[in-house]
Amino acid sequence: MTHPLTHGASAVALAIALLATPFAAPGARAQDSAAAAYCTNLADEAGDARFARKLARLQEAEDQVNARLQALEAKRQEYESWLSRREKFLKLAEENLVAIYAGMRPDAASAQLAEMHELQAAAVIAKVSPRTASAILNEMEAAKAARIAAIMAGLSRDDIEGMPS
């Protein structure tokens, strides 16, 4: 003989089991396969979208590299231009002119060089011996000697381009 509570407990357990299992309506398998097909179709599009994003990032990186290369090329041209101006500056003081000023008394040389264009004076002083150059600069007005020394230390672009030929 079965106990009424045992029979009722079995019925409740069966009801819970039925409620816990997903309800499969007719055609549910067809919906599952359609959903799977939809996901499969989207997977290709998603892959394409990922590829497009990666390609865009690569293109952006390439553009940045190209911009840096252009900046580097501009800097190289700037240095070549500076070197050319520096060579032009040094050619201003020809050897014979340098020899003339090197043989003069420092006070006479400084008076004449002080009247010259500062770039030309700096070019001459740069080519004489350091001892002669210091003696000539020592005889010059301090402000003029300082400007010439600054030119000798590092030519500014504006000064070189404004040099007389």
* pTM across the whole model: 0.43
Tokens 């357990």 belong to residue: 13
| Cα distance between residue 112 and residue 8, in whole Å | 127
> What's the average model confidence in pLDDT over 110-131?
91
Amino acid at 153: A
The answer on pLDDT for 12 being more than 70 is no
Whole-angstrom Cα distance, residue 130 to residue 16?
A: 106
| 126 pLDDT above the threshold of 50 | yes
Q: Which two tokens stand for residue 127?
A: 């080519």
Place of tokens 């301090």: 142
pLDDT band at 61 (very low <50, low <70, confident <90, very high): very high
Determine the pLDDT at residue 28: 54
Q: For residue 154, give the 3-state DSSP assignment.
A: coil
* Residue 121 · residue 159 · CB < 8 Å: no
**Out of 26-30, 38-42, 59-63, which region has the weakest mean confidence (pLDDT)?**
26-30
List pLDDT tens digits, range 70-101: 999 999 999 999 899 888 877 776 777 888 89
Contact by Cβ (8 Å): 124, 97: yes
Query: Cα separation of 25 and 23, whole Å?
Result: 6
